[in-house]
């Protein structure tokens, strides 16, 4: 994977109650590019944060459907990744990521 | 809490305070917990944000906030503990400020100097004694008439004291120069507002005349490129007006609050005002001498902070007097202009305060009221002004300090030897005018308050 791709894979941290809970179990949640694969995400996290990644789980979030006077519409969705770090590694400054 | 005090100069102290780490951290945690209840973050239900997230987001800011608050609190505690009497504001600097370590900060402050009052016993004070005689009153009325003079057109050659309306254009070597041209300019001959010689040459001109005026700009003229040059002004006289003093009649006296136009009543009114002016003048003169003597007898080192505060105040006043408006940034005025005055005022303030405390002077409410009523007597609606002053705690304190100051001066006056010097009304007033800003301040404040009322 080339250097440019590394910066395009991770879109930002995903901070929610669930993500905060996950962080206590060494899992960190990111929004990622919709065409990112697990191995790409793993390499990107290892390259950007310098931490060893154990495994990655990904899923596609669907946008909510919204109705208005103009009819029905859908918000854009995104791809989310749960990154489990290898035992003993932590991401300190998680909120500050990209 | 550990406090150590260093003496860096006779009036400056450096206080070093240590606050235990546990106390700081506790305070920070308490503050963070409170934030957790209050804050709304995307992705979290209100009140459900975990402490770890809160700490990450708000930890640093909250710590800074808490530390600066703690420093202020402990500073106050420290100076009470060490019984220091600070003048002005301290400058507080944290030296150690890290999580898990004891907080340490130094506060540099100035304290009020210890004043040992030296008596001014034996000082001679001149008290002017002046009678207002009829001629003084007449002169005053004459002045009032001049102030209310009107101008009427006359069909004759202009004489000294007349006002002419002119157009003019100035030439140097047949070339017009900038700023040398005006139309419809009103010029009082003999008032000396123009270049010397200009006004003289217009004497004798009639309406419609177009005299040429030749003048030489003085060597010290403010526009440098003109200074010392000879210039010719082409002028056109539109009209010549004569000064007309208003008759002393009902219309005239009404302006000064005498309704029926009775000459005797008017004179009495004028005399009353003059008497009041004279009284204040005499009082101020005596006061000024006392204060000067006091300052001479006692040399006080004044805290820089107080001077700074005073300078700020003076600047604001000056800005107001020049009519620079509320938005004017006073920091544009140079400090040096006011430093000396500020210094002497702070000195006087400190000394008088010392006199007050030494003699345990106090001002009762009645005395304050009497003082305000006297002040208010000069204005249109005295009752309102009195209410305005007494209703406002801050204003009342101001008045109280003025009353105390007067009392202190009276006390000092007992020590001094008063010598009566008789002089005329004019002399007494002039003598009073020479004195310093002390007076101009109180008047400007009165004006300000008057507007508010």
- Boundary of a domain, candidates B244, B273, B297: B244
Chain B residues touching A90 at Cβ < 8 A: none
Pairwise pLDDT comparison (B423 vs A71), residue with the higher score = A71
So what's the pLDDT on residue B13?
78
Q: How many CA atoms lie within 13 A of B296 on its CB side?
A: 9
Residues B91 and B194 grouped into a single domain: no
Total structural domains in chain B?
Answer: 3
Residues B311 and B232 grouped into a single domain: no
Task: Decide if B229 is inside a domain.
Answer: yes
Q: For B220-267, what is each residue's pLDDT tens digit? A: 776 667 777 777 877 888 878 877 777 766 667 766 666 666 777 777
Shortest alpha-carbon distance between residue B70 and chain A (Å)? 28
Whether the CB of B45 is below 8 Å from some CB of chain A: the reply is yes
Chain B residues touching A23 at Cβ < 8 A: 52
Shortest alpha-carbon distance between residue B45 and chain A (Å)? 8
Task: Decide if B382 is inside a domain.
Answer: yes
What is the widest separation between alpha-carbon atoms in chain B? 96
Residues B276 and B403 grouped into a single domain: yes
Confidence of residue A50 (pLDDT cuts 50, 70, 90): confident
- Boundary of a domain, candidates B244, B276, B305: B244
* DSSP secondary structure, B357-390, as one string: HHTT----HHHHHHHHHHHHTTSS-HHHHHHHHH
So what's the pLDDT on residue B348?
76
Pairwise pLDDT comparison (A49 vs B321), residue with the higher score = A49
Contact flag B43-A16 (C-beta cutoff 8 Å) = yes
Task: Decide if B116 is inside a domain.
Answer: no
Nearest to B53 among A14, A20, A93 (CB): A20
ipTM for the complex? Answer: 0.81
Q: What average pLDDT does the segment A73-86 reach? A: 93
Residues B323 and B430 grouped into a single domain: yes
Whether the CB of B177 is below 8 Å from some CB of chain A: the reply is no
Contact flag B53-A14 (C-beta cutoff 8 Å) = no
Q: For B373-425, what is each residue's pLDDT tens digit? A: 777 766 667 777 777 777 777 777 777 777 777 777 777 777 777 777 777 77
Residues B96 and B15 grouped into a single domain: yes
Task: Decide if B117 is inside a domain.
Answer: no
Residues B403 and B349 grouped into a single domain: yes
Task: Decide if B75 is inside a domain.
Answer: yes
Is the entire prediction scored with pTM above 0.90?
A: no
Task: Decide if B139 is inside a domain.
Answer: no
Nearest to B45 among A17, A19, A94 (CB): A17
Cross-strand partners of B18: B2, B104
Task: Decide if B166 is inside a domain.
Answer: yes
Shortest alpha-carbon distance between residue A1 and chain B (Å)? 32
- The DSSP output letter for B117 is P
Q: Which residues of chain B, if any, have pLDDT below 50?
A: 435-453
Residues B275 and B363 grouped into a single domain: yes
Residues B215 and B272 grouped into a single domain: no
So what's the pLDDT on residue B346?
76
Confidence of residue A67 (pLDDT cuts 50, 70, 90): very high
Whether the CB of A16 is below 8 Å from some CB of chain B: the reply is yes
Q: Is residue A41 within 8 Å of A83, Cβ to Cβ? A: yes
Contact flag B52-A20 (C-beta cutoff 8 Å) = yes
Whether the CB of A25 is below 8 Å from some CB of chain B: the reply is no
Residues B25 and B74 grouped into a single domain: yes
Which CATH number characterizes residue B56's domain? 3.30.70.1050
Residue A38 pLDDT exceeds 90: yes
So what's the pLDDT on residue A37?
93
Pairwise pLDDT comparison (A51 vs A90), residue with the higher score = A51
- Edge-to-edge strand order for the sheet containing B12-19? B2-9, B12-19, B103-111, B86-96
Residues B198 and B305 grouped into a single domain: no
Whether the CB of B51 is below 8 Å from some CB of chain A: the reply is no
B residues 24..43 contacting A (CB < 8 A):
41-43
Listed residue (B86, B431, B416) closest to B277, CA to CA: B431
Which CATH number characterizes residue B156's domain? 3.10.50.40
- Token pair belonging to A75: 């918000």
φ, ψ of residue B33 to 5 degrees: the values are -60, -40
Residue A36 pLDDT exceeds 80: yes
Which CATH number characterizes residue B306's domain? 1.10.3120.10
Shortest alpha-carbon distance between residue B39 and chain A (Å)? 14
Q: Is residue B335 within 8 Å of B311, Cβ to Cβ? A: yes
Residues B361 and B226 grouped into a single domain: no
Per the structure, the complete domain to which residue B65 belongs is given by: 2-110
Burial zone of B309 (CB within 10 Å; 0-12 exposed, 13-18 middle, 19+ buried): middle
Residues B294 and B436 grouped into a single domain: yes
Task: Decide if B36 is inside a domain.
Answer: yes
So what's the pLDDT on residue B450?
41
- Boundary of a domain, candidates B210, B244, B278: B244
Q: Is residue B28 within 8 Å of B62, Cβ to Cβ? A: yes
């Amino acid at each position: 994977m080339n250097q440019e791709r590394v910066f395009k894979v991770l879109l930002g941290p995903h901070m929610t109650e669930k993500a905060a809970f996950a962080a206590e179990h060494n899992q960190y949640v990111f929004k990622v590019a919709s065409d990112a694969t697990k191995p790409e995400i793993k390499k990107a996290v290892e390259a950007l944060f310098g931490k060893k990644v154990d495994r990655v789980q990904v899923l596609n979030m669907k946008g909510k459907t919204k109705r208005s006077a103009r009819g029905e519409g859908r918000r854009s969705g995104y791809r989310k990744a749960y990154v489990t770090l290898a035992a003993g590694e932590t991401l300190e400054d998680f909120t500050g990521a990209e | 809490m550990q406090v150590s005090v260093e003496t860096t100069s006779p009036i400056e102290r450096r206080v070093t305070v240590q606050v235990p780490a546990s106390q700081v951290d506790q305070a920070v945690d308490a503050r963070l917990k409170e934030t957790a209840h209050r804050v709304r973050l995307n992705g979290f239900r209100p009140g459900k944000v975990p402490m770890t997230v809160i700490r990450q987001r708000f930890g640093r800011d909250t710590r800074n906030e808490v530390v600066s608050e703690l420093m202020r609190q402990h500073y106050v505690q420290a100076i009470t503990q060490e019984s220091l009497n600070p003048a002005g504001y301290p400058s507080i600097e944290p030296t150690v400020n890290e999580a898990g370590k004891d907080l340490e900060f130094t506060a540099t402050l100035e304290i009020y100097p210890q004043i040992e009052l030296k008596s001014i016993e034996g000082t001679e004070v001149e008290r002017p004694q002046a009678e207002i005689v009829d001629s003084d009153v007449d002169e005053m009325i004459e002045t009032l008439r001049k102030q209310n003079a009107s101008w009427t057109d006359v069909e004759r050659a202009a004489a000294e004291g007349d006002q002419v309306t002119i157009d003019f254009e100035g030439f140097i070597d047949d070339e017009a120069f900038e700023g040398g041209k005006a139309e419809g300019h009103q010029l009082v001959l003999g008032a000396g507002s123009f270049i010397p010689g200009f006004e003289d040459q217009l004497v004798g001109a009639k309406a419609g005349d177009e005299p040429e005026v030749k003048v030489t700009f003085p060597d010290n003229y403010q526009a440098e490129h003109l200074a010392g040059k000879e210039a010719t002004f082409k002028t056109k006289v539109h009209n010549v007006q004569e000064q007309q003093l208003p008759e002393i009649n009902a219309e005239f006296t009404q302006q000064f609050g005498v309704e029926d136009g009775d000459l005797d009543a008017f004179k009495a009114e004028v005399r009353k005002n003059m008497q009041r002016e004279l009284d204040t003048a005499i009082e101020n003169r005596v006061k000024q001498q006392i204060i000067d003597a006091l300052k001479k007898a006692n040399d006080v080192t004044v805290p820089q902070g107080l001077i700074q505060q005073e300078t700020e105040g003076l600047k604001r006043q000056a800005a107001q007097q020049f009519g620079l408006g509320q938005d004017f940034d006073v920091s544009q005025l140079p400090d040096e202009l006011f430093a000396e005055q500020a210094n002497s005022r702070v000195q006087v303030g400190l000394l008088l305060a010392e006199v007050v405390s030494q003699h345990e002077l106090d001002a009762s409410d009645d005395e304050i009221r009497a003082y305000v009523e006297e002040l208010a007597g000069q204005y249109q609606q005295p009752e309102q002004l009195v209410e305005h002053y007494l209703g406002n705690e801050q204003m009342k304190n101001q008045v109280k300090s003025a009353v105390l100051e007067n009392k202190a001066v009276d006390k000092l006056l007992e020590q001094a030897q008063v010598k009566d010097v008789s002089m005329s009304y004019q002399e007494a007033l002039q003598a009073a005018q020479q004195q310093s800003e002390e007076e101009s301040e109180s008047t400007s404040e009165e004006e300000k308050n008057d507007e508010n009322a």
